[in-house]
Amino acid sequence: MEFQRARTDEQRAERRTKILRTAAEMLTETPVAQLSLNELSRRVGLAKSNVLRYFESREAVLLDLLDAEVREWIADLERSAPPGEGSARERGDRLAQILATSLARRPVLCDLFSSQATVLEHNISTEVAIRHKYAARASLQALTLLVAGHLPELGEEGAGRLVEMALVTAMAAWPCARPAEALRAAYDSDPELAAMRLDFADLMRRTVEVAASGLLARAVKD
């Protein structure tokens, strides 16, 4: 495979963008755990060694993709989910529904979230880790401001706690709501077992509702 070196910053940025876009497309077909650097390189049209000129590892590619997906999700929430009216309880429930449905519509983001701590944050350098954590901090701050706009009663600290609980729930709930083939067959074979199958959006909504209610109650007592 012939390699033509990107000689300008613009060319290098274009090549990084192509790698990230290709990885995102692959994740619509295969889970994070099955995405290989070899296959990514083939689809991009570069040798594996040349892909590594732009990203130090498969995990580094996916971390950058995670950061980009989170930014896109937040921007969409800011455009499409302005704060509404009603009681704090009503606004909290509405926010829970918004977060749950918006995440359920983004399976690539949810898959990346669920793999973040166990896969993506391994096999990377300190430099990549620092860059990722700065990006994650900026996203957490943006989400906290968004939540505080819906529930100003929580204050910044309470809004931040709600964001943390929502994200941790998403990380844990996504793989649980995507059972292996044998478990799907078990659920399909027995109605009693089928009741144990988790629905991601419903679990997210109920958990964020309860968390918001609890934080609002504590805010009133404080």
- In Å, what is the CA distance from 103 to each residue of 26, 28, 37, 122, 161? 19, 15, 26, 24, 18
Q: Domains in the chain, ordered, with CATH?
A: 1-55 (1.10.10.60), 58-221 (1.10.357.10)
pLDDT (tens digit per residue) in 141-187: 999 999 999 999 999 999 999 999 999 999 999 999 988 899 989 99
Length of the chain: 222
The pTM of this model reads: 0.89
Q: Predicted confidence band at 222 (pLDDT cuts at 50, 70, 90)? A: low
Average pLDDT for the chain: 92
Question: 203 with 177: CB under 8 angstroms?
Answer: yes
Q: Is 22 exposed, middle or buried (0-12, 13-18, 19+ CB in 10 A)?
A: buried
Query: 47 — phi, psi (to 5°)?
Result: -70, 155
pLDDT-based confidence at 202, cuts 50/70/90? very high
Q: How far apart are CA 182 and CA 201, in angstroms?
A: 22
Model confidence over 74-119: pLDDT tens digits?
Answer: 999 999 989 989 999 999 999 999 999 999 999 999 999 999 999 9
